[in-house]
Structures are given as C-alpha cells and as structure tokens.
Structure 1
Amino acid sequence: MEIPGKEFYNRLDIDSVLSSVEDAGFSVSGHCLALNSLENRVYDVGLEEGGRLVVKFYRPGRWSLNQILEEHSFLKELEEGEIPVITPIQLENGNTIRETKGIYYTIWPLQKGRLVEELDEQNLAQIGRLLARIHNIGSSKATNHRIEYNLKNFGKEPLRFLKEKEFLPSHLWKRYEEAANRIFQSYLNFSKEMPFHRIHGDCHKGNLIQTSNGLCFIDFDDFVTGPAVQDFWMLLPFGDHRSEYEREIFLEGYREFREFKSSWFDLVEPLRGLRYIHYSAWIAKRWEDPSFPNAFPHFGTEEYWEKETRDLENLGSDLPVSTEEDSRNSYARTEESELTNKDFFWDME
C-alpha cells in the first residue's frame, strides 16, 4: 500500500521547503540549507528580516499526528520543568504542526551549539542530573499514542521484516535468527519488573549539544516508553576500569534526583543486540528512499551481513543467563573491551 506523501517527500526540493515556511507565516530570504538528517528532512531556512529557522518534515507513515503531538507535549513539559531542550514554534491557533501534500512539518528556533565530543567528569555529572530530571517528568504520566520499547517493536517485528523481504543471504539466515532469539530471551529475562516510562529513546552524544547556556538535549523524534538504561548505554563508556569510574560519576549525578539500580545495567547487552537488528531493518525499510543507498553503500552486501551475523553471534554468546547469581555477576563478564558509538552505528568512521 502506497504511503500518502511518500513520493513528494522523496522529491522534496528547496522551492517546496521555502513555500511551506511562507505558508506558516514567515517571510523567507531564499537561504535554505539541508541539514544532516536521514530519518526526516530538516532544513536551515533564512528569514527576510534576518535570523534563521529550522523546518522539519516528518517521514510519511512513521508517526501519526497524535504521536507527533505527544512528542511536542513532552518537550513542553520538559521546558516548563526548566530542562534545556528545544521546543517547536507555536503557529496559528497555537498549533505546532502543519501539513503539505500529505507530509507533516514543524518549525523550530535555530539553536546554536557544538556537539559534545568527549564527556569529562564535570559534564558526566551534569548529564546524569539532567537525564534524571527528564526521567522524573517522563514517569509523571503515561503516553497514549507513542510506542513502547519492547521486544515486539524493536526485535521481533524488525527480524520478521528482514526475513519476509529476504534481505539476508539464505545461508546466513539460520545463524542470524538463532543469535537474535538468544538476545530476545535475555531481554525478556532482564526487563522483567523493570520500570518503563517516557524516555529520550535515542540518547547518544550526537543528540547532545553544548550551548552558551550549557548542555542541551536535542532530537526527541525517537521518544518512547522504555527503561531508563536505554538512555544510558549509547551515551556512557563501557569496557575498562576507567569506564566504570566515569559511569559512577554519571550515576552520582543521576541519583541526586532519581533512583537507579546497578542491576538494571544487565539490560545493556540485550539492548545492544536489539539495536543491531532494528538498525538493519530501519535501513532496509527505507531502501527505496534515494538518500539511503548513497548513505549506506555497503548495506546488503555479503560482507555486511556476514559481519552483522558474526557480531550478533558474538554478542549472543556472551549474554548472561537469568539466575539470580548470574544476574549479579553478569555485567562484569561482558566488560572485555571499551565500546564506542562505532559499535552501535556500523557506518560511523
């Protein structure tokens, strides 16, 4: 079934972007720069009277109107709680979303800042405090429309898609599926009785900027209901004793505002495994988008799937079982080498 707005989205041009901003009530200068975003189309647009805005076109078929509105509502709650985030500009009648040719779009203030390359002791504690406050607000009420970070949405459905569309070479499928199922079982074991609440969902250093006023979390597009540790594991270092020390600094800051049990780190490795599977399916589902083959030229090759299968097997073989004693000791067993963002995003150089 064809998704409304998909063809227009894939062919979105500068004239359409500028016209959309003008239709929202702004006079544009003609400056329009595409920003680095694959999931959505995001542009830096200049205004006639000076200054710039950011306009974001949501990928058709990904989020419903109500799901996008819930993202905006969550951001507003965080802003009112004096947490540094960026909220969309309210347009006519207080609306934050407009539509053009089947595509939802929003307009945001341009927030200047720089990416955080390294996390030092000072900003680790600060990030811990900020995330705890985000989670406090996140746990204050439930969502009605956003999805949950569960095995179905981030494991079984992506795996089913890869199988049905036959993306993997046939001789690798059994190995890949068996490794995935080990990860699924471990996720079920360690997510039992773990609290779920609203979280950022895609919390890594690329979504954290340093502004003139301090650190600021950006891009809540992947916000879901999930476990707190999902907002930790791509952000924090894992591997050696230095990493343990830095995580403790982060946790000291976090625990000033919110409880976090060290045993919840047992979920990190299953979450990492789900990330591998979900990330491959994410690329596969968008392969008809012209920007994806250009961004991921090695995706789908024999070499790519061999590496993905091997990495999934290695991860699955190290996952702990769910006895109480193994749960207490499992985290230390998995810390053999330091992990970085490159381990979670295969295309990063």
Structure 2
Amino acid sequence: MINRLSKAEPENFLMLDPDCVLDAMLDQGFQCDGRLLALNSYENRVYQLGIEDGPPLVVKFYRPRRWTDAQILEEHSFVQDLFLSEVPVVPALLNDNGVGLRFFKGFRFAIFEKQGGRAPELERVGTLERLGRYIGRIHAVGASSKYCHRPMIDRETLGSRALAFLLENDCIPSDLLPAYESTARQMLECVDTLYRQAGEVQVIRLHGDCHLGNVLWTESGSHPGPHFVDFDDSRMGPAIQDLWMLLSGNRVERQNQLCDLLAGYEDFADFDPRQLQLIEPLRSLRLIHYSFWLAQRWGDPAFKLAFPWFNSQRYWQDRVLEMREQIAAMEEPSLQI
C-alpha cells in the first residue's frame, strides 16, 4: 500500500477549504477551536490550528501527486531517526498505528508540533559553527541508511529533465528560446565537467533544501539554537548540498563562512574536500530546477498570484544572464578548506 500514488487523490488543492482542514483534524481526533492561520508555503498547504485545551498544531497537506506514500514515509522515518538521536527537528506526530501519514477525502497530510524561532544571525560569532555542528549530526544519521524511493540530487534529475520539460512545454518566449537553450546546455556541460573532476563522492540522506528559511533559531527551551524544519525536499545527495546555501557574499566572505561551518561539521562527520568542486554545479542545477518548478506549478492559482513575473520576457532574459554568470563562476577555482 505504501508505494501507491492514489488515483482517488485530487488533482489540486481546489477542494481543500477551511472546513475540509478542520474536518480532517477532527477525523484524526483533534478538536480545533476554529483558529486557522495559513502559513507561507507554495508547494504544499500548511496551516496553524488552534487546539482546544492544548497548544496550537501545524498541519501540512501534501501537494497531490507529487510524492508517493513510500517517499513521504521515508522522509518521516529519517526525521524520526534524527529526533530520536536528539537532533533538533520536528517530526510528524504519529497516529495510533505509529504512522505519521494521514488521509482525508483523498488528501494526504501530516501533523506537527508548532516550532517557534527566528532566522539565524549569521554575523554573530559562533552561529555558523553551531549550524555546521548540527548539520554534521544530521549527516551522521543520514549516512547510516539510504533512501530507496526518493530521487537523487544529481545532474540528470535537477538539470536535464528540468530543461527538457521547459523546452517541450513552450515555457520560454520563442525569441529567447535559442539563447536560453544554448546557454543552459553550455552550463550543464560545465556541470558535467566539474562532476567528473570531483569523482565518485558519497551520497547520503540529507535535508536537501537547507536555506535560512528552514532553520529556526531559539534562545530558550530544551534545545536552544537552530531547529531544522521542512524536510519535504529531502533526498540522497552529496553533503555539500546542505552547506552551500548558507554561503553568501564575495569569495573571501564565502571562504571564511565555509571554514566556520566545517569547524563545527567535522566534530560529527567527515567532509570530503572534493565536494567543494560541486558548489557551483549544484547552484547551477538549482537555477534550472527553480524555473522548472514554477512552470510545473503554473496551473495553480496561488503561483500566478505569488509569481506574476514568471511568464514575462524579463524573467527569461534574466535567467540567460544568470546562467552566463554561473558558467563564469564554474571556470574559477573552487573554494578551499
């Protein structure tokens, strides 16, 4: 059963109104007090709900037909492993059968305790080292087993397939198509070159989307410091995937930030320096995949409201320039430890 992608599942979120959300929670034994707050999420639908005689909870309804049940359960299992290893994450609450994936009127959803916090202040001394320490702990657990159902973070999945979708579905203005396609293919050739130079690097279960928006920092509680949330994009990939998105600024600044991260990271996990050659390739793949993600979701009214510039001429012109900058970046020496 867990491998299915239900044919009864809705095509989209049009039937997911507030009454449906409240009824789904009641069906699972949670008596809501009527307070419902939509949280910032485009891929899924996420709500904070007031609970009678208890603290508020967060419920996430998974985008229909994105993940299979098995893929969602693999993510839940990984986060539960992290939680049991005392890594500050927020696992799905389990039902009476010990499972976090729930069903209501074809929708699939999970329920979580609310986790407060703010964005980490990276300029504060010691913050990056602490982040690196916890990411090292995540990766130590992640390396202990493998995903069997979730896709990989690699050139084929995030690059070639994403580009093929954009080209085959007429997403790019016709007058910009030759420039976009040729530049994208040149960028992917550079990605291939650097992947070959890095050689065979270990791939592990990891967060997959470890940017500052998915890290909540607290100063009190049982685990003061960073809390890692939203493992929805968790996949198998190289460890550097969870580190490079925390780097910003000029080369010297990024070099110093990397050293701070790894000072904490290597307290718990070994780091293969060959992976440093993958920072710009992974950034390049993310650029193409982001446009693919928007194009694939363009039929969702929420995306048209949130990203009205997506199908504009200017958007695709900027992407061509961005890819050319990435080609130049991949020709420069990689960061060093």
Give yes or no for TM over 0.5.
yes
Task: Please give the residue correspondences for 1:323-342 in structure 2 after superposition, counting only pairs within 5 Å.
Answer: 330-331=333-334
Residue 50 (structure 1) aligned with residue 54 (structure 2):
yes
Task: Please give the residue correspondences for 1:142-181 in structure 2 after superposition, counting only pairs within 5 Å.
Answer: 142-181=146-185
The letter for the 2-side match of 1:74 is: F
1:70-121: CA deviation from partner (whole Å, max 9, x where unpaired) = 0000001111111100001111221211112222101111112222243533
Residue 102 (structure 1) aligned with residue 106 (structure 2):
yes
Percent identity (aligned): 40
Q: Distance in 2 between matches of 1:284 and 1:304?
A: 12
Match of 2:216 among 209, 233, 240: 209
The 8 Å contact of residues 229 and 268 in structure 1, kept in 2 or not, is answered as yes
Q: Distance in 1 between matches of 2:314 and 2:7?
A: 32
1:136-165: CA deviation from partner (whole Å, max 9, x where unpaired) = 111111111111111221011111111111
Listed as ranges, the gaps of 5+ residues in structure 1 are 321-328, 334-349
Cα shift at 1:54:
0.5
Match of 1:20 among 21, 24, 33: 24
The 8 Å contact of residues 180 and 273 in structure 1, kept in 2 or not, is answered as no
Length, aligned pairs only: 324
Q: Structure 1 residues 274-283 or 240-249, which shifts more?
A: 240-249
Normalised by the size of structure 1, how large is the TM-score?
A: 0.88
The 8 Å contact of residues 122 and 128 in structure 2, kept in 1 or not, is answered as no
Match of 2:290 among 279, 288, 301: 279
Q: Distance in 1 between matches of 2:285 and 2:271?
A: 22
1:289-311: CA deviation from partner (whole Å, max 9, x where unpaired) = 11001000110100110111111
Higher helix proportion: 1
Q: Distance in 1 between matches of 2:12 and 2:165?
A: 25
Match of 1:296 among 307, 320, 335: 307
Cα shift at 1:286:
0.6
Residue 248 (structure 1) aligned with residue 259 (structure 2):
yes
1:307-349: CA deviation from partner (whole Å, max 9, x where unpaired) = 11111122124423xxxxxxxx71269xxxxxxxxxxxxxxxx
Task: Find the residue that maps to 2:131 and give its secondary structure.
Answer: helix
Q: Distance in 2 between matches of 1:268 and 1:115?
A: 23
Match of 2:119 among 115, 118, 126: 115
Q: Distance in 2 between matches of 1:255 and 1:209?
A: 22
The 8 Å contact of residues 127 and 253 in structure 1, kept in 2 or not, is answered as yes
Match of 2:40 among 25, 36, 41: 36
Residue 229 (structure 1) aligned with residue 240 (structure 2):
yes
The 8 Å contact of residues 32 and 44 in structure 1, kept in 2 or not, is answered as yes
Q: Distance in 2 between matches of 1:195 and 1:116?
A: 28
The 8 Å contact of residues 44 and 62 in structure 2, kept in 1 or not, is answered as yes
Q: Distance in 1 between matches of 2:7 and 2:174?
A: 29
Match of 2:186 among 182, 185, 201: 182
Q: Distance in 1 between matches of 2:187 and 2:29?
A: 50
Matching residue of 1:194:
201
Task: Find the residue that maps to 1:256 and give its secondary structure.
Answer: coil
The letter for the 1-side match of 2:188 is: F
Normalised by the size of structure 2, how large is the TM-score?
A: 0.91
Task: Find the residue that maps to 2:54 and give its secondary structure.
Answer: coil
RMSD (CA atoms): 1.9
The 8 Å contact of residues 168 and 305 in structure 1, kept in 2 or not, is answered as yes
